[in-house]
Amino acid sequence: MNIGKLLGGAIVLLILIQLVPYGRDHSNPPVTGEPVWNSERTQELFSRSCRDCHSNETVWPWYTHIAPASWLAQFDVEHGREKFNVSEWGRPGKNEGDEAAEEVRSGKMPPFFYFPLHPEAKLSETERQELVDGLIATFGEEHGHDNEEKE
């Protein structure tokens, strides 16, 4: 098989996968509740590193409109919002704010694959510790106390 046919097939495939509807709904649901942040600094660090996947205020860059990147972005945002969503604070069911500090502390969040396209999300060690401390003050630690909902 020559390179031209292989490249042509890849282009046709790329065009065809654009017809798959998943990953195209980039509307953000309304904000129905927000936590009482312990400080503006915690909220700023959270917004910079976590907001796109853990709130209803996701910024959808251009590449999230093209499959297969759109599929990955949609999946990550849906999963992130399901686990922990600061825009639906006080919702019925579990909103795992008490696990947020440990996820950041352990380096699981933000995930490594987020940084290449979002370099502003990368935190220095000092900022990471500030965010961990702020998340604990705001949400408590796992099996700790819950934050009161804003009225």
The closest alpha carbon to 53, from 39, 73, 67, 23, belongs to 73
Most confident segment among 6-10, 14-18, 90-94: 6-10
The closest alpha carbon to 107, from 128, 136, 137, belongs to 128
Segments making up each domain of the chain, as ranges: 3-139
The confidence band for 26, taking pLDDT boundaries of 50, 70 and 90, is confident
Task: Give me the DSSP letters along 78-99.
Answer: HHHHHH--TTBTT-SS---GGG
pLDDT for the residue 21: 74
Chain center to CA of 46? 10
Give the count of beta carbons closer than 10 Å to the beta carbon of residue 43: 17
Mean pLDDT, the chain, whole residue set:
87
pLDDT for the residue 136: 95
The confidence band for 40, taking pLDDT boundaries of 50, 70 and 90, is very high
